[in-house]
Chain A
Amino acid sequence: MGDTPVLRLVEITKRFPHVVANDRVSLELLPGEIHALLGENGAGKSTLVKIAYGFYQADSGEIYVHGKKVDISSPRDARRLGIGLVFQGFTLIPALTVAENVALFLAELPWVVRPRDLHRALREASRRYGLELDPATPVWQLSVGEQQRVELLKLLLANARILIFDEPTKVLVPHEVENLFRVFQGLREDGYSLIFITHKLREALTCADRITVMRQGRVVGTVRPGETSEEALLHMMFGERLGEVVRAAGREPGEPILELRGVCTKPVGTAPGLADVDLVVRAGEIVGVAGVSGNGQRELGDAILGLLRITRGKKLFLGEDATRWPPRRLIQKGVAFVPEDPLAMAVVPWFSVLENLGLLDPRRFSRLGGLGLDWAGVRAHLQAGFARLGLNPLPEQARAATLSGGNLQRLVLVRELSRPYHLVVGLYPTRGLDVRSANAVRQALLAAREEGKGVLLISEDLNELFSLSDRIVVMLRGRLVGEFRPEAANLTEVGRCMTGAGVGHA
């Protein structure tokens, strides 16, 4: 592989208002190789490939394609040079059909487009690459895996020879990942060059020819899988040893806090409804819910929080029938909620830290029936909350939108967990967080368990579930299809259960 690199990025620097996303980053992609770009969230991987695709402009640095210096100032330039990028959130337009989505990216589309011709051409092409798709279907009706196929088809038909994938496996179940990697190998044999971004070591080690590791906007090094180890890669990714989550010894769980008996809900959109879900969360235990996202986990959380109507079955909270309780009542009775992406689901971006905290528990700080508000009380509560959870206090007048994801989640933890409560529902609470903040969330959940609260942890990170949970249940298409004890099961068994390969138990 001594040829000229098909793509060479030299000393790329990119600054955003508050952060240097890429600091003199260089990267070489050789012809016919699969190159993994490895690093944790926020390491600058996405920014780098978006610069190569012309989606962002670098502040300084040079790009060479096939040895020639090029100027990529828009995605159109990139595609003319044969560079294609599959974005993390797909760049598909839900309202348009598969054919229209693909046609949008075709370089030599005729000025007058006949749907019939277009559909025929697409059907042939998708068969050629082994990507079965119906061109006339609107994209919003497709599954995630199918959408990824459309993305790939788009690139292939646009004659891209350099294919970049931004976290392609994030949304896929294990066997779909295997399929994708087989497609990658096939493309390499056909002479395509590939870059894929991941933060999973094993994917990089199994699929890539070379691995470039990034940390905090810089390249740490490039290695071959045969010449490295998981240990070494971990060290490159994180630099120092991670704080491990310390876990207390197991103990007997107490009284049931939450009970679901045969709970069903109506399906919303493309997500499945819950079907006959039986689940008990007891005091002093963490129940983990595993599953590929989109299999009813969010619906489970919403049904517990009273946001989704339970059509059949019963929900008991502390022994009381809570099936029809509105969210407000559940919150007052002691349900805390820690979601993913707090900026979207838990806080108001324009509000200050103080105002966001004031939203807690409707009647608590209210004065004169709502005409007033006890701001001093809110302030005191805020300070006490940070102290109680052992967190550094945040500036109370800072707007939520200006806080980092980790700090936002700390704010949510303080708001939700520093008041009387009995149950915490965590909905992917560590998703997208940096390692330290994720550990802070995990510590808080473990502390809740120590204090005898019930914890329901919905997550797709199996390692997290195994290290925190007392029990793990698995969701598949709105049903609970298996229950495991972490000490008596392994990842593969749970993984198989998640993908419907077998109903498991342990």
Chain B
Amino acid sequence: MRSLGWTRLGWPALRLLLTVAIVLGVFGLFLWALGKDPIQAYRDTFRLNLLNPRGLAGVLARMAPLLLTALGVALPFRSGLINVGAEGQFLMGALAGTWAALNLPALPWGLHLALVLLAGMGGGALWAAIPGALRALGWVNETIATLLLNYLAPLVVGYFVFGPWRAPELAFYPQTPEFPASARLPLWFGTRLHLGFFLGLFFLLAYAYLVSRSRWGLELRAVGGNPEAARRLGLPVERWILAAMVLGGALAGLAGITEVAAVHARLKLDISPGYGFMGFLVNWLAFAHPVGILVMSFLLAFIASSGFTLQITQRLPYAAVNVLMALILFTVLAKPLAREVRR
């Protein structure tokens, strides 16, 4: 991809800043109309989330699931698939990882954790393999299938959390028992920053290199860019479609299990405030571009963190932050970046 060049990023960056400024203005009016003090609210938000190391660490921790789910959307996107199902893959990853965390016999710390993360990736991958296979066979469109599976996943998780895996000690709140220490992700510097963030960065770098420079990436993008030509060039189109979905699902699943293993330490129903959908939007805002994914996931992570700040300081419902996110999206969508989305 030529557009990887840093010189091309100046203008989009400026436009992004402008967008954020406009949106903050509009959202400020909202707050003002609700009888809040927007200046104070913004000051708190910035102070608590950006200027304070603990707050910043919290934002970075929230970036981890966004980076991974965005990559989980970006990879299939490059092969011409629209994966709206990162939300479901996230949950299934968390489910499979939880199984490994709770059921594997005692193992040394690193090994157990590695197996837990691998199981999470496997869970997401398997869940994504369903729409991947259906699409590769030409039976069901992957957008529709992933969308449907998003709503099956919480029901499957719900079955286990309410049923066989329910922790006996907390009868009033449906959740699994706590993970053993050997299945927890390390937190660093006494903050919420955890290994998941660095996993996210690692996979982002791997994605950036593999997609643009490797033979695999070239084939993957060829399948997305022109399946007819790819088939005539002898590329195994169906296998790539399945592979892209499975790999994407694995990354979204990894997002799920890291979130559980680092933040909640047990599986419950409300582990995702829509990380999968946010990942879709991150990828869309970034046009699957690695630098864009980094920037946009930071921005959305910051917004999500702000939601909690506003909840505490301004007594707004957490969901209010969705309005802020929607306003950003509306503004960006109103100024299309290209005639067509590039793969």
Chain A interface (Cβ < 8 Å from any Cβ of B): 305, 307, 326-332, 337, 339, 344-352, 355, 358-360, 362, 365-367, 370-373, 375, 397
Contacts and interface: CB of A to CB of B under 8 A. Distances in A.
Contact of B2 (A362, A367, A397): A397
Interface string B199-238: 0000000000010011110110110011011111111100
A344 B210 contact: no
B214 A327 contact: no
Contacts of B214: 370-373
Contacts of A307: 231-232
B343 interface: yes
A351 B231 contact: no
B235 A348 contact: no
A351 B343 CA distance: 10
B167 to A, nearest CB: 44
A492 to B, nearest CB: 35
B222 A328 contact: no
Interface string B234-258: 1110000000000000000000000
A326 B225 contact: no
A131 B175 CA distance: 72
B229 A373 contact: no
B228 A345 contact: yes
Contact of B210 (A328, A347, A352, A371): A371
B218 A355 contact: yes
Contacts of B226: 344, 347-349
B154 to A, nearest CB: 36
14 contacts: A307-B232, A326-B234, A327-B233, A327-B234, A328-B234, A330-B234, A332-B234, A344-B229, A359-B219, A359-B233, A362-B235, A371-B214, A372-B214, A373-B218
A370 B234 contact: no
Contacts of B216: 370-371
Contacts of B235: 328, 359, 362
A166 B196 CA distance: 60
A281 to B, nearest CB: 19
A287 to B, nearest CB: 20
B225 A348 contact: yes
A465 B43 CA distance: 77
Contacts of A371: 210, 214-216
A330 B232 CA distance: 11
Top 3 nearest A-B pairs (CB, nearest first) are A348-B225, A328-B234, A327-B234
Contacts of B213: 372-373, 375
Nearest to B223: A348
Interface of B: 2, 210, 213-216, 218-219, 221-222, 225-226, 228-236, 342-343
A305, A326, A337, A373 interface centre (most CB from chain B within 10 Å): A373
Given A339-B232, A346-B229, A351 B222 contact: yes
A366 B232 contact: no
A367 B216 CA distance: 10
Contacts of A358: 215, 218
Given A359-B233, A370-B214, A348 B222 contact: yes
A375 B213 CA distance: 9
Contacts of A373: 213-215, 218
A358 B218 CA distance: 8
A362 B229 contact: no
A362 B234 contact: yes
Contact of A345 (B2, B215, B218, B229): B229
Given A366-B215, A373-B218, A349 B225 contact: yes
Contacts of B2: 352, 397
A163 to B, nearest CB: 34
A360 B233 contact: yes
B221 A348 contact: yes
Nearest to B210: A371
B218 A359 contact: yes
A366 B210 CA distance: 13
A373 B226 CA distance: 20
A350 B215 contact: no
A312 B242 CA distance: 30
B215 A372 contact: yes
Contacts of A360: 233
Contact of B236 (A328, A350, A365): A328
A305 B234 CA distance: 9
Given A373-B213, A373-B214, A373-B218, A350 B225 contact: yes
Contacts of B215: 358, 365-367, 370-373
Contact of A348 (B210, B229, B234, B236): B229
